[in-house]
Amino acid sequence: MNKINLAVIGLGNMGLDMIRHMIPSYANDMNLVAVCDSNESQFETIVGAHPEARCFTDYRELLNEVDVDLVYIAVPPAMHYEVALSAISKNMHVFCEKPLANSLAEAKHLLEMAAEREIVHAVHFSFPLEPAVLMLRKLMAEQCVGQVTGMELILEFPQWPRPWQQNRWVSTRQEGGFILEVGIHWIQMIQQVFGSITHVQSAVTFPAGTGSCENEVAALLTLDNHVSIRVSGTVNGGSQERVSLIVHGTEGTIALENWEQLLLNGANVELPDEIMQASASRLPILNNVIQLLNGRQGFVYDFYDGYNAQVILEALRYPSEAGAVDVRLQHISRPQ
């Protein structure tokens, strides 16, 4: 394949990070041919480094007018569906930020369309490939804490939105909140490392009389091996953020603290060179997308992974009054 023509739709934190820090590493593999954002002032940061890239405020015009191979979607979640569907309908390959969509029905339709068109489809999940998670997977396979008896997922934030992520949508009930923005990463990682989540029981608290996102969640997730995960999340005005998974076993405890620190029975776990090399060989995800587009072997988390994470996300965000929800029939398996 010739150089890949890439379009970036959405120039918020993720879109700009892709352009500034990722694309330059793959200048021999791709051309940034177009960008799109509703805020024209964002274009000023692009045109100097990428004068060849055309700028649009309407993604439909971009997709209609520019020869694009791959679309990177970094718009707010409520727009993921319409942008991805438009790209897929033109047989363009899609690399989408999480979550895949803003509802389960939307995610399912995108999955069905992408599979039907046989395009490359990927969601920007990378957490399971980070060194600490690879080491966690290795230690769990070695039964480092014996038989697992339960887990805790802790999501604590002094404030929401976080100071570095102040925008118009991340605090809204429709497409923001810490369950969606942060919890989705941990949901997807848990399902990769520990197996499918089969039941969800959730209680979510929202500020009274506003359209703001949640400020508290208490939930119970059940894995297909019947192990339970207690989820507690708060916006508590404290001094420090804590995002952690604690695994309790018959012979001890292992904790993944704040994304990257691994503690076995309270002691820091060193990450050996082979783990660091294994992570480096599979990241960034963009490199794997490029490999797949060039007909080579690559590993991505695709729309199947995105949809199955969305199953749990939606059950958490919109609790059933009947209590625990059996989500097994909602999961979709990837064809063999």
Check pLDDT > 60 for residue 1. Answer: no
Identify which of 111, 88, 70, 112 has the alpha carbon closest to the alpha carbon of residue 290. Answer: 70
| pLDDT of res. 249 | 99
The Cα 182–Cα 179 span in angstroms is 6
- Give the pLDDT mean for 196-215: 94
* Tens digits of residue pLDDT in 278-294: 999 999 999 999 999 99
| pLDDT of res. 118 | 97
* Tens digits of residue pLDDT in 144-199: 999 999 999 999 999 999 988 888 899 999 999 999 999 999 999 999 999 999 99
**Taking all residues of the chain, what is their mean pLDDT, rounded to a whole number?**
96
- Give the pLDDT mean for 209-223: 94
Check pLDDT > 90 for residue 236. Answer: no
Instruction: Report the share of the chain in percent with pLDDT over 70.
Output: 100
| pLDDT of res. 274 | 98
| pLDDT of res. 167 | 85
Show the domains of the chain with their CATH numbers: 4-126+283-302 (3.40.50.720), 127-279+309-330 (3.30.360.10)
Alpha helices in the chain (DSSP H): 13-17, 44-47, 59-65, 80-89, 104-117, 131-141, 178, 184-193, 273-282, 285-293, 303-317
* Tens digits of residue pLDDT in 105-135: 999 999 999 999 999 999 999 999 999 999 9
- Give the pLDDT mean for 60-70: 99
Take residue 101 and report the two structure tokens written for it.
Answer: 């969509």
* Contact status, residue 57 vs residue 35, Cβ threshold 8 Å: no
Work out the burial of residue 334: count CB atoms within 10 Å of its CB; fewer than 13 is exposed, 13-18 middle, 19 or more buried.
exposed
Higher pLDDT, 164 or 97: 97
| pLDDT of res. 319 | 94
| pLDDT of res. 45 | 84
Take residue 174 and report the two structure tokens written for it.
Answer: 């429709």
Instruction: Report the share of the chain in percent with pLDDT over 90.
Output: 93
Question: How many CB atoms are closer than 10 A to CB 281?
Answer: 10
